[in-house]
């Protein structure tokens, strides 16, 4: 069964800082990895995904995937107070064609002005 571990559990940074969030997964045969953002009382919102080894940049977000080490990271440049949320790493087995996501426990991010 796929396991997804995230670190750190929580993070407090000043506005404008670079944020780095980590995620490790157990199945090397995966899969796309998604990062979701979840604000209190709301459902998760998809931010960015990666399938191939390497990195992918979208706006202030950059994600890095290393399949050999089963590790993916999300970096948020120039963080804003509105980025304060829980960040969820989720792994999907594209081969199974079921769309099932396995989530990590999340990292709580707080960006203070």
Among the candidate windows 20-28, 56-64, 68-76, 99-107, which touches other proteins by CB under 8 A? 99-107
Interaction between residue 96 and other proteins (CB under 8 A): yes
Scan residues 51-70 and list those touching other proteins (CB under 8 A): 51
Least distance between other proteins and beta carbon 28 (Å): 16
Nearer to other proteins, 101 or 109 (CB): 101
Q: How many positions of this chain bind other proteins (CB under 8 A)? A: 26
* Number of helical (H) and strand (E) elements in the chain, helices listed first: 0, 11
Among the candidate windows 9-17, 26-34, 61-69, 71-79, which touches other proteins by CB under 8 A? 26-34
Each as own residue / partner, the long-range contacts of residues 74-77 (CB below 8 Å, 24 or more positions apart, any chain) are 74/20, 74/21, 74/23, 74/35, 74/47, 74/48, 75/18, 75/19, 75/20, 75/21, 76/18, 76/19, 76/21, 76/109, 77/18
Interaction between residue 34 and other proteins (CB under 8 A): yes
Interaction between residue 42 and other proteins (CB under 8 A): yes
């Amino acid at each position: 069964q796929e396991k997804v571990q995230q670190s750190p559990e929580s993070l407090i940074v000043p506005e404008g800082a670079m944020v780095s969030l980590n995620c490790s997964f157990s199945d090397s045969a995966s899969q796309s990895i998604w990062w979701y953002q979840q604000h209190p009382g709301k459902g998760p919102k998809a931010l960015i995904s990666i399938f191939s080894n390497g990195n992918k940049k979208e706006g202030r977000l950059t994600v890095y995937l290393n399949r050999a080490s089963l590790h993916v990271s999300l970096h948020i440049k120039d963080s804003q107070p509105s980025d304060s949320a829980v960040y969820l790493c989720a792994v999907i087995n594209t081969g199974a064609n079921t769309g099932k996501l396995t989530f990590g426990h999340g990292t709580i991010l707080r960006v203070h002005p």
